[in-house]
Chain A
Amino acid sequence: DTAVSQTPKYLVTQMGNDKSIKCEQNLGHDTMYWYKQDSKKFLKIMFSYNNKELIINETVPNRFSPKSPDKAHLNLHINSLELGDSAVYFCASSHHLRTSGTTDTQYFGPGTRLTVL
């Protein structure tokens, strides 16, 4: 079974369109993330949700809106797509902070390659 899954794997669309990427995890984790990997392979966090609550929101345009219907799902909706949005988007999940405050390992999905024409 795939631990963290994303759909679609590839997404090609025109500028100005609105699109969504879905992510699901079956690891029983309570925290999920979205990362963006640019053309130079640099990975940067965008959002994080813990138990459906937004806990990390990096400097990301308002056109990007994450939605977490439950703690096993974190979807990413993008409005008015721009050329610069072309990238690979990775979803990840982990347990939240331990009571000691230590972090936990994040497990990544297969990625969604978004190409904006």
Chain B
Amino acid sequence: AQSVSQHNHHVILSEAASLELGCNYSYGGTVNLFWYVQYPGQHLQLLLKYFSGDPLVKGIKGFEAEFIKSKFSFNLRKPSVQWSDTAEYFCAVSTYGGATNKLIFGTGTLLAVQP
């Protein structure tokens, strides 16, 4: 069965620090990869996604992620975080070639940015 691991459960950074959140998945076939963000008290919003092509994808708010197929990873990065980036970040995977469009989520990483 597919699974997604996010190794950092809770990250605390100061403003302007660089961010990298890890995401690894287990699935041998072709995947679509997503990062969603959930700000306090709000719903999930899509940050970025990878379907095919350039493995380095850029999303909203200065976030980017790199798909490394050999490592089954899709780490999220931002060169300089802001206080407003405080949120929960979820990595998700869906596989294609089957009949359904099911997202498998990681357990999330809570990012707290200190001003």
Pick from B19-27, B65-73, B98-106 the stretch touching chain A. B98-106
Number of interface residues of B (CB under 8 A): 28
Complex Cα distance A92/B32, Å? Answer: 17
> Is the CB–CB distance between A45 and B102 below 8 Å?
yes
- Which chain A residues border B51 with CB–CB below 8 Å? 102
Contact flag A106-B103 (CB < 8 Å), given A41-B88, A42-B108: yes
Contact flag A43-B90 (CB < 8 Å), given A103-B32, A103-B96, A105-B46: yes
- Interface digits, A33-51 against B, CB 8 Å rule (1 contact, 0 not)? 1010000111111001000
- Which chain A residues border B94 with CB–CB below 8 Å? 103
Partner of B100, one of A56, A100, A108, A110: A56
> Is the CB–CB distance between A48 and B44 below 8 Å?
no
Contact flag A102-B32 (CB < 8 Å), given A40-B107, A55-B99, A97-B101: yes
Task: Give, as a whole number of angstroms, the nearest-CB distance from A61 to chain B.
Answer: 19
Tell me which residues from 77 to 115 in chain B have a Cβ below 8 Å from any Cβ of chain A.
88, 90, 94-103, 105, 107-108, 110
Complex Cα distance A40/B10, Å? Answer: 12
Complex Cα distance A105/B35, Å? Answer: 11
Tell me which residues from 84 to 99 in chain A have a Cβ below 8 Å from any Cβ of chain B.
90, 92, 94, 96-97
- Which chain B residues border A48 with CB–CB below 8 Å? 100-102
Tell me which residues from 41 to 74 in chain A have a Cβ below 8 Å from any Cβ of chain B.
41-45, 48, 55-56
- Which chain A residues border B107 with CB–CB below 8 Å? 40-42
Task: Give, as a whole number of angstroms, the nearest-CB distance from B65 to chain A.
Answer: 14
Whether, in the assembled complex, B43 has its beta carbon less than 8 Å from a beta carbon of chain A, the answer is yes
Q: Which residues on A are within 8 Å of B, measured CB to CB?
A: 31, 33, 35, 40-45, 48, 55-56, 90, 92, 94, 96-97, 100-111
CB pairs A–B below 8 angstroms (26 shown): A31-B101, A33-B103, A40-B107, A41-B88, A41-B108, A42-B105, A42-B107, A42-B108, A48-B100, A48-B102, A56-B102, A92-B44, A97-B99, A97-B101, A100-B96, A101-B97, A102-B32, A102-B51, A103-B101, A106-B101, A106-B103, A108-B43, A108-B44, A108-B45, A109-B43, A111-B43
